[in-house]
Structure formats: C-alpha cells, structure tokens
Amino acid sequence: MNTIRSPQPPPSLTRSVEDYLKSVFHLTSQGGFATTSDIAEMLDVAPPSVSGMMKRLSETGLIEHVPYRGVQLTPQGRRAALQMIRRHRILESYLTSKLGYDWGDVHVEAERLEHAVSEKLIERMADALGEPRYDPHGAPIPTAAGEIEEAELVPLAESEVGSSLVLQEVGDEHPARLHYLAEQGLTPGVRLTVIDRQPFNGPTIVRLGDGTTRVVGQELALLLFCRSSDGE
C-alpha cells in the first residue's frame, strides 16, 4: 500500500530527551563533539545511560553519533534544543520579573517547568515581559524563530590583568554562589577593571564602576563571563 503519510503530529519529546538535547547543545557550543562522559556528568546519570539515549536520539534523527567520538546535534535537534533554551530563559525572566523570585532560585524551577509549558504560554510570558533579549543571568534568549546571539566571552578567571571588562553573563546553577555575587554587586552589566591576580589559581582583584574593589576567588571568577569594554 505504502500510504502517503500526513505531516506527522510532532511526537512530543520526553523530559529526558529534552534535557539531553540541551546538554549536547551547551557542550558543543564551542564546536566539536559532546562526549558521553561530559553528558553523563552534566545530567548526573551513568555513562551507559547516555550511550543508550544517544542511540535512540540518533535513530530519531536528533543527533549525529560518531561511535567512540561523541555526538553533535542535527539541524532538527538544534531547533529542539534552542526551543528548550528559549523556554528556560523566558521562564527564568518571568519568575524574576513578575513573581519576585531571587535570581538564584529560578534555575531549578525553570528546569522542571520548561518541559511542561506550551509554546503559547511562553510567548505570552515573553510578551508580558516585552520580548526580553537576556535572562536574569545575562544569557541571551533565543528568538521564537530559533536564532541565538553568540558572543565571545572570557571568564573573569582567565581575563588579562589590566583589561577593562563588562560582566555579561553569570553561570546560573548555583543559588548560594548567585546570592553571594548579588551581594557583592557582581551582576550582569557591571563594569570592572582587572587590577591583579594572585598566582596558583588565586583570586582575581577587580575594581568596579563605583570605585570599590572586590577579591574574587577562582571558583567564582570562572562563573563570571565578561566581554572587553576597552573601546568604550
């Protein structure tokens, strides 16, 4: 018979699949492959679970798997990943702006909600917020069409002593660290000058826009992604 199929109703991805796709996206954002063990660590599952999932995902055409090398997203997988990232970041923005959430608490909430919200709800939230371009941690929000801004950012921990920077984006997964950073005034948009750095993975010392200084240990300085502001 070989009946012509009507345009398949989108099979709706599971929560697990959606989180795997996001992980692959993040791990390949600098190009290259995402490895089994990196994905396993990011999602806190055992490596064989990843192998199993990668097999299923490549059968459904969401990723390309090169055995023993790693995986990359197909265009279809990338679209799905960017959609999830848009959901996540719009949710974080909405919770922060409209429901008084602390920026340290939104990530964990968004991590669950992103799998349950409809496209329609996300667009209503985006609309209520005025189509925000960045989430509360400074990460760019993909458009509904699946475009995302790519910036070259350097972690403060790896910045050049003497450079003038703008803090652009902060790693969003650690509530306690975020809480502390906010107290220190280290939030996206702040200007800073790198005064010094201690050796042996020591702290970075910065001067803020208001003239005060901060001593930032390496662990935190690795979470602070900056762009150069020399030309400004």
Partner DNA sequence: ACAGTGCATTAGCCTAGACTAAATTTCAAC
Partner DNA sequence: GTTGAAATTTAGTCTAGGCTAATGCACTGT
Residues that bind a second copy (CB under 8 A): 95, 98-101, 105, 109, 112-113, 115-118, 120-121, 124-125, 128
Return the residue matching tokens 């002593």: 161
How many residues at the interface with Mn ion, by CB under 5 A? 4
The residue (of 144 and 222) whose beta carbon lies closer to a second copy is 144
Residue 172 engages Mn ion in binding (rule: CB under 5 A): yes
SS3 content of the chain, % helix, strand, coil (to 5): 40, 20, 40
70 binds DNA per the rule CB under 7 A: yes
Binding residues for Mn ion restricted to 110-149, rule: CB under 5 A: 111
Residue 157 binding: pick among DNA, a second copy, Mn ion, none (C-beta 5-8 Å cut-off by kind): none
- In angstroms, give the least distance from the CB of 47 to DNA: 4
- Tokens 């200007």, residue? 191
* Interacting residue with Mn ion among 107, 141, 168, 206 (CB under 5 A): 107
Tell whether residue 97 is a contact of DNA (CB under 7 A).
no
Is 65 a binding residue for DNA by CB under 7 A? The answer is yes
Q: Please say whether the beta carbons of 58 and 66 come within 8 A.
A: no
Regarding 77 and contact with DNA (CB under 7 A), the answer is no
Angle between helices 75-99 and 119-129 (to 10 degrees): 50
Name the nearest CA neighbour of 159 among 133, 128, 192, 111: 192
182 binds, among Mn ion, DNA, a second copy, none (CB under 5 to 8 A by kind): none
Q: Nearest 5°: CA angle at 113, between 94 and 34?
A: 105
Residue 56 interacting with DNA (CB under 7 A): yes
- In angstroms, the CA 55 to CA 74 distance is 14
Q: Is 86 in the site for Mn ion (CB under 5 A)?
A: no
Name the residue nearer to a second copy (CB basis): 119 or 196: 119
Q: Please tell me whether residue 192 adopts helix, strand or coil conformation.
A: strand
> Which C-beta is closer to a second copy: that of 4 or that of 116?
116
Neighbours of 200 (CB within 10 A): 5
Residue 47 binding target from DNA, Mn ion, a second copy, none, CB below 5 to 8 Å by type: DNA
Between 106-113 and 75-99, two packed helices, what is the crossing angle to 10 degrees? 130
**Least distance from C-beta 174 to a second copy, angstroms?**
18
C-beta separation of 53 from 24 below 8 A: no
Taking CB under 5 A as the rule, does residue 19 contact Mn ion?
yes
Q: How many residues does the chain have?
A: 232
Stretch 16-55: interaction string toward DNA, x if CB under 7 A: xx-----------------xxx--x---xxxxxxxxxxxx
Between CA 24 and CA 73 the distance in angstroms is 7
